[in-house]
Amino acid sequence: MLEMLNDPMFWTGLGQIIIINIVLSGDNAVVIALAARSLPAKQQTQAIVWGSGVAVAMRIVLTIVAVELLRLPLLKLVGGALLLWIAVQLMLPEEEGEGAAKAGSGFWAAIKTILVADLVMSLDNVIAVAAAAKGNLTLLIMGLAISIPLVIFGSTLLLKVMERFPIIIAIGAALLGWVAGEMFITDPLVKDWVDASAAALHWVGPAAGAAAVVALGTWLAAQAMARRPALVELGERLPAPAAIAAPIPARPGLVNRILLPVDASDNAARAVEYVIAMRRHHPAPGTMDIHLMNVQREVSGDVSRFVARDSLQDFHRERSVKALERARKMLDDAGVKYSVHMLVGKPWEVISDYAGVNRCDQIVMGTRGLGTYTGAALGSVAHGVAQRSPVPVLLVK
């Protein structure tokens, strides 16, 4: 055991398993949160602990079985091809499915949802982790023991980190491509030939797999974004305050239509204060048309297979309402007219696209903390908006 711990390859493999589990398990964490959200607080904790515990045991057993199966000829070739597909899918923009699942109620319904969802959604994770373990059960168990609790109990933090640094997703996809390349050249059917006649493939194969995933994933993601429909907002179910009114026709040459994306952070509050000050010094304050916005992180189609679409929308809406509370109170107290928009998607894309479609004169946003209520710090969101936005962007520190 001590000799194993002194082996750099052991730590490389352990790191691969942890990264793979993190980037491939975000959806599982969302399902766990959604399945338990309607329960009383005490039962929520119990459902998460019991459901997650059984799901972890089930996943460990499945992964050990997968490790043994990958020793058979041809299965690594098949698994490598499947892993390449999984890696490319990881880079594509997330789409919400039709949400056909019926929402269950009660403690045992939540447990059932967690178990079934984890079983179905963990196929990619099981294959990838089994491949990264390279038959080493000690490495496999250590990697799962470290990473699975992180995913289950630190899901909110992990989502923040991945959205704050989107490069992590690309790195994870490239890592999967690397592991897939290794699977191709280490299958028992071709391993002896590679070792004897094409040893360079031990590096070329994994590198080619990583490069292919990043190149193909980037291209397909661009195509998918081009086909995306117009932005669809979550239904506005908030009581309209007296300050909300139809905009008065703007005077030419003035900054009148402002997009104000916010969350519950202090930096977002400072952006709201700035807009209030802008209105106070505006030569025609009645013409200002302020669009207050919050963007929630979208979920994948896999999640919507186990959670009804209405539940997903309610989940996003509740978080948007909470994220908007502080900004709405500030604007209401200042007597500022505004409209409210709650949307779902990647914040930097939704914000810049909305500003262009609605011909805003300016985007005003804080420099950190913006994005989903649970999600992204605005550093990366601001960078993305600045790159994509067809209108001027003003960042408030």
CA distance 189 to 206: 17
Per-residue pLDDT band for 371 (boundaries 50, 70, 90) equals very low
**Alpha helices by DSSP H, 334-364:** 347-357
How many other C-beta atoms are found inside a 10 Å radius of the C-beta of residue 199? 11
What size, in residues, is the chain? 397
Quick check: is 249 in a domain?
no
Most confident of 225-239, 284-298, 319-333, 382-396: 319-333
CA distance 12 to 187: 20
Interval 6-23 mean pLDDT? 79
Q: What is the DSSP string of 20-47?
A: HHHHHSHHHHHHHHHHHTTS-HHHHHHH
Please tell me which residue, 5 or 318, carries the higher pLDDT value: 318
Q: Can you read off the two tokens belonging to residue 365?
A: 């946003």
- Of all residues in the chain, what percent are helix, strand and coil, respectively (each to 5)? 65, 10, 30
Tens of pLDDT, residue by residue over 82-123, are 888 888 877 776 554 444 444 455 777 777 777 776 666 667
How high is the pLDDT of residue 365? 92
How high is the pLDDT of residue 237? 41
Mean pLDDT of the chain: 77
In this structure, the answer to whether residues 47 and 172 fall within a common structural domain is yes
In this structure, the answer to whether residues 169 and 266 fall within a common structural domain is no
In this structure, the answer to whether residues 214 and 299 fall within a common structural domain is no
Quick check: is 251 in a domain?
no
Interval 306-312 mean pLDDT? 68
Which domain-ending residue is among 225, 247, 272? 225
Q: At what angle do helices 167-186 and 123-133 cross, to 10 degrees?
A: 60
Please tell me which residue, 265 or 233, carries the higher pLDDT value: 265
In this structure, the answer to whether residues 265 and 317 fall within a common structural domain is yes
How high is the pLDDT of residue 150? 66
How high is the pLDDT of residue 373? 35
CA distance 174 to 84: 9
How high is the pLDDT of residue 218? 86
In this structure, the answer to whether residues 148 and 262 fall within a common structural domain is no
In this structure, the answer to whether residues 175 and 309 fall within a common structural domain is no
The partner residues of 343 in beta bridges, in order of sequence, read: 233, 295
Q: What is the DSSP string of 185-236?
A: HHSTTTHHHHHHH-TTHHHHHHHHHHHHHHHHHHHHHHHHHHTPPPP-BPP-
The set of residues, in sequence order, having a beta carbon less than 8 Å from that of 284 and lying 6+ positions away, is: 251, 254
Dihedral of the CA atoms 65, 67, 71, 74 (nearest 10)? Answer: 90
Over its C-alpha atoms, the chain yields an Rg (Å, rounded) of 24
Residue 145 has pLDDT above 90, yes or no: no
Residue type, 227: R
Range(s) of the domain holding residue 192: 2-225
The set of residues, in sequence order, having a beta carbon less than 8 Å from that of 39 and lying 6+ positions away, is: 47, 106, 107, 110
Residue 69 has pLDDT above 70, yes or no: yes
Quick check: is 301 in a domain?
yes
The set of residues, in sequence order, having a beta carbon less than 8 Å from that of 265 and lying 6+ positions away, is: 366, 368, 369, 370, 378
Quick check: is 252 in a domain?
no
How high is the pLDDT of residue 243? 39
How far does Cα 314 stand from its chain's mean position?
A: 18
In this structure, the answer to whether residues 28 and 95 fall within a common structural domain is yes
How high is the pLDDT of residue 29? 67
Tens of pLDDT, residue by residue over 202-226, are 899 999 999 999 999 888 877 776 6
Query: Measuring CA to CA, which residue among 301, 361, 322 is closest to residue 96?
Result: 301
How high is the pLDDT of residue 155? 56
CATH number, residue 385: 3.40.50.620
Per-residue pLDDT band for 319 (boundaries 50, 70, 90) equals confident
How high is the pLDDT of residue 253? 59
- Report in angstroms the alpha-carbon separations of 196 from 71, 134, 201, 364: 20, 20, 11, 62
How high is the pLDDT of residue 258? 95
In this structure, the answer to whether residues 314 and 167 fall within a common structural domain is no
Number of domains within the chain: 2
CA distance 58 to 89: 24
pTM more than 0.75: no
Quick check: is 233 in a domain?
no
* Long-range contacts from 142-145, C-beta under 8 angstroms, 24+ separation: 142/14, 143/13, 143/14, 143/16, 143/17, 143/18, 143/21, 144/17, 144/21, 144/56, 144/59, 144/60, 144/63
In this structure, the answer to whether residues 59 and 205 fall within a common structural domain is yes
Strands (E), the chain: 257-261, 289-296, 338-344, 362-366, 393-396
Quick check: is 241 in a domain?
no
Which domain-ending residue is among 206, 225, 244? 225
How high is the pLDDT of residue 37? 66
Quick check: is 243 in a domain?
no
Share of the chain above pLDDT 90, in %: 22
Residue 130 has pLDDT above 50, yes or no: yes
In this structure, the answer to whether residues 325 and 276 fall within a common structural domain is yes
In this structure, the answer to whether residues 269 and 211 fall within a common structural domain is no
CA distance 129 to 140: 7
In this structure, the answer to whether residues 184 and 329 fall within a common structural domain is no
Most confident of 136-145, 349-358, 361-370: 349-358
Q: Is the dihedral of CA 260, 265, 270, 273 positive or negative?
A: positive
Quick check: is 95 in a domain?
yes
Which domain-ending residue is among 207, 225, 243? 225
Interval 241-269 mean pLDDT? 69
Tens of pLDDT, residue by residue over 233-245, are 665 444 444 333 3
How high is the pLDDT of residue 101? 44
How high is the pLDDT of residue 329? 95
